[in-house]
Amino acid sequence: MLTVNPPASDTGKKLSPTYHVTGLFPTVQPLSPLLDDLEKAGFNDSNVELFAGPTGAERLDFKGRHQNVVMRLLGDLAMMLSDESRLQKQIDEVLRDGGIFVSLNTDGEDQKKDAAMSLLKANGGLEVTYWGPLAVEKAMAAGVA
């Protein structure tokens, strides 16, 4: 069964979800068709994570509110040096406004990555992003990069 807002300790990807494709949805409207499309494409509960609303923002904890002082300082430093800081801020804002953040594990497989990026875009996903081991790749407006 798909878990919404899994605990951060379960996700193991607080700042950089390597080998995941992620997308933002400002509302819950596209969720049911998206989940159907993902299932048809072979994605299942073990490689789909959903974070929804303010609870999802707290679980992801991009701002480090639930960390000790040293970890918060290290997180702030990483955010200042990171290209992903703008995207993480946007994820936090969309969730706090009631939206959804979807994360799909591709196991580093190009075919899964391409399918995940296409499906998220086709279902209205914003900021569709592949988090590779060394770089972040954005889906283009008219298709996949």
> For the domain that residue 45 is a member of, what is the CATH number?
3.30.70
Residue 144 lies in a domain: no
pTM as predicted: 0.78
CA atoms of 145 and 120, how far apart (whole Å): 13
Structural domain boundaries, residue 61: 8-138
Does position 123 have pLDDT exceeding 80, yes or no?
yes
The predicted model gives 52-59 an average pLDDT of: 89
The predicted model gives 41-66 an average pLDDT of: 83
| Domain total of the chain | 1
Give the pLDDT confidence of 72-96 residue by residue, as tens digits: 444 444 444 455 677 778 888 999 9
Give the pLDDT confidence of 9-35 residue by residue, as tens digits: 544 445 457 899 999 999 877 788 999
Residue 34 lies in a domain: yes
The number of angstroms, rounded, from the C-alpha of 2 to the middle of its chain's C-alpha atoms is: 15
Residue 1 lies in a domain: no
Residue 143 lies in a domain: no
